[in-house]
Structure 1
Amino acid sequence: MSNQVALVTGSSRGVGRAIALALAEKGYDIVINYARSKTKALEVASEVEALGRKALVVKANVGDVEKIKAMFIQIEETFGRLDVFVNNAASGVLRPAMELEESHWDWTMNINSKALLFCAQEAAKLMEKVGGGKIVSISSLGSIRYLDNYTTVGVSKAALEALTRYLAVELAPKNIVVNAISGGAIDTDALTHFPNREELLADAREKTPAGRMVEIEDIVKAVLFLVSDDAFMIRGQTIIVDGGRSLLV
């Protein structure tokens, strides 16, 4: 039988890259998805291959359903299966609600919310072939709390978490386990786009009960748990990994 296969969207850098490499270390062949950073995606592929695993690099804007379908055709042609889908790719326009335009809303919702639905539809077809699978999405605390300039992303992540619950129930008969992870502020490239980046980092450093900020590895460990058989009875949940920051009002 072929090695198990994992798709991680937005895996050319940051959290997605770390998840992809961790899954490769666990023995998965990896589908690396990117939208712009081809050079970085190829670097991740080299790292995956250095671990003795196969890597498929696919350029696809996951906000476009036709691009999603084309990506899954490549996955099926290359591997003939899919065991894990990590819905990590994200984007968004960071502006106050009163300054948002329709294009900002559509762009963010398509990549952060619509992508999960239509990727899950395609992933489920391949997972059925091997008797089941695991789907994990990456959310954020803006889904349940107000963050400055975060309207489009926060609302899109709230939709993602709701969709996680619906998919968990509807895909359960196919032996597909669906969950999400909501992380606290992490000092990655993505955070550089926030106008209040330094304020967010200072808050995380000073007010996280665990005594330190959330790190990429914390999210990776949570993903590895949710795609393991140990998490079989966890369904449709959004696991908050924030060191307790959201507990403080």
Structure 2
Amino acid sequence: MALLVNEKIQEKTINDGLTGKVAIVTGGSRGIGSTIAKMLAKNGVEVVINYNSSKDAAESVIDEIEQFGGKGMAVQADVSNLQEAQSLVEKTKNHFGKIDILINNAGITRDRTLKKLSKDDWDEVINVNLNSVYHTTSSVIQTMIEQQFGRIINISSFIGQGGGFGQTNYAAAKAGLLGFTKSLALETAKDGITVNAVCPGYIETEMVQAIPEKVREQLIAKVPMQRLGTTSEIADAVLFLAKNSYITGQSINVNGGIYM
């Protein structure tokens, strides 16, 4: 009888949807972040889109979410700054009453070989791509512990796993995210919080489309599946992790086979 009760509890936990959950998506105004935000909203999540400077783009995503009946708001914050990240979380809790899901997606590139890499190029990428994750996550973790529920999903990169020419700063930050993910997963597993990472390969975003066509073709030629990934394919992986309650400390590679 006890086993049957436990099975019913487990089934309920596994089948619980995301309706009514509240998520923050950093860097959510465009590219991968905007697709993640819309995917979550279509699954009943109330979404806060964080942006730094792209106000019009962020509000456009919110308009699209509201058009299909979702709920969301856009909040400006430079998450590389601790105080602004804390303010983002407070505004979210004040508006929606809680925070259940954190998608750490904000990121930039400043690609140069190390001999040409300035201290500013190094600091800016580390601050936006790695330090921001500490800022946002440290701001939500106590709330998640108290409510005994949380989903933290960090958008890393295959570059953090295999390296990239001219990307020591970016690779260091994205590799740091993987260590952060595993360590925090160990700390919070007992609190109903899962912490995972998604590692995209080359994805069809504005950033990639801006690369000269010849160079882009060379990148695609390195991918075993011979194409760029889509932002929806990344969002699918994020949605899967947001729904699952028994996966933690893991990295899901969505990369067309470029890193195995």
For the 8 Å contact 1:11–1:34, the answer to whether it is kept is yes
Name the amino acid aligned to 1:218: E
Q: Distance in 1 between the 2:213 and 2:168 partners?
A: 16
- Alignment match, 2:6: none
For the 8 Å contact 1:96–1:150, the answer to whether it is kept is yes
In our comparison, the structure showing a higher alpha carbon Rg is 2
For the aligned residue pairs, the C-alpha RMSD in angstroms reads: 1.8
3-state SS of paired residue (1:121): helix
Q: Distance in 2 between the 1:72 and 1:198 partners?
A: 42
**How many aligned positions are there?**
242
- Alignment match, 1:220: 235
Deviation at 1:46, TM superposition (A): 0.8
- Alignment match, 1:79: 96
Gaps of 5+ in 2: 1-18
Deviates more, 1:108-117 or 1:18-27: 108-117
Name the amino acid aligned to 1:5: V
Deviation at 1:52, TM superposition (A): 1.9
Aligned in 2, Cα 1:28/1:238: closer, same or farther, shift over 3 Å? Answer: same
Deviation at 1:127, TM superposition (A): 2.2
Q: Distance in 1 between the 2:134 and 2:36 partners?
A: 21
Q: Distance in 2 between the 1:215 and 1:54 partners?
A: 24
- Alignment match, 1:93: 110
Q: Distance in 2 between the 1:136 and 1:4 partners?
A: 15
TM-score, scaled relative to structure 2: 0.87
Where do 1:103-182 residues align within 5 Å? 103-182=120-199
Deviation at 1:202, TM superposition (A): 1.9
Name the amino acid aligned to 2:232: E
For the 8 Å contact 1:81–1:129, the answer to whether it is kept is no
Deviation at 1:237, TM superposition (A): 1.4
Q: Distance in 2 between the 1:41 and 1:211 partners?
A: 32
Q: Distance in 2 between the 1:25 and 1:79 partners?
A: 17
Deviation at 1:211, TM superposition (A): 4.6
3-state SS of paired residue (1:44): helix
Where do 1:177-192 residues align within 5 Å? 177-191=194-208
Deviation at 1:158, TM superposition (A): 0.7
Q: Distance in 2 between the 1:140 and 1:161 partners?
A: 9
TM-score, scaled relative to structure 1: 0.91
Deviates more, 1:25-34 or 1:102-111: 102-111
List per-residue Cα deviations over 1:195-234 (Å, max 9, x = no partner).
x7742x32453343335321111111111111112xx332
